[in-house]
Amino acid sequence: MGILTRFKDIMSSNINALLDKAEDPEKMIEQCLRNLSNDLGKVKSETATIMAEEQRAKRVLDECKEEIEKMQTYAIKALEANNEEDAKKFLEQKATLTNKLNGLQEAYDLSHANAVHMRQMHDKLVGDIKELESRKDMIKGKLSVAKAQERINKMTSSIAGANDSMASFNKYEEMADKAIDKANAMAELNRSTAENTIEDITKKYASDTDIEAELAALKANLNK
């Protein structure tokens, strides 16, 4: 039947497999519940229809069996009344009903199997919904913990990046200190070189000579 094909995947549905495929498991849980609830409504309606068909087939089958028994009883009564012709007619009707009974039995067996199958699907679907409902809060709790861990991981990565930045700043500061030390050393060398030039030495002695000459002149004037 079409309904059995339509809902055959419901029988093999796996809640965990659905969640594994979800990009957003939390949303998928709610979607699963909505889908299963919608399917449950359809399965209930179709199950009720098939169970009603099973009951109808059973009633027709039972009625046929009763008619066969009646024909048998009437045939016996007709013979008891020495009416062989009527007994023959009852037996002919019994044979017709017996042939019909085989078809009715097959119809009932099929409708009964369909009803059992649909009831199994219904019961499994109800069980899946109850299972998902009971696990929903637990799964959401685990997802919250996982999201919190992801945030911690991101913060840890940021802190690691900050440590790298600090190391870089320390390196640049060390380079700046070396540059300053080198510049100061170069300035010191430049000062030492300037003090030892021949011009500076000449000026020193030239300055002393002028003073001696001026001193001699002053002495000469005083002696006069």
Q: What is the pLDDT of residues 171-221, one digit of tens each?
A: 767 777 777 777 777 777 666 555 555 566 566 555 555 667 777 777 778
Distance CA 185, CA 191 (A): 10
Q: What's the pLDDT tens digit per position in 74-110? A: 999 999 999 999 999 999 999 999 999 999 999 999 9
Distance CA 161, CA 149 (A): 18
Are the C-beta atoms of residues 22 and 28 closer than 8 Å to each other?
A: yes
The pTM score is 0.48
Q: How confident is the model at residue 6 (pLDDT cuts 50, 70, 90)?
A: very low
Distance CA 77, CA 87 (A): 8
Distance CA 46, CA 44 (A): 6
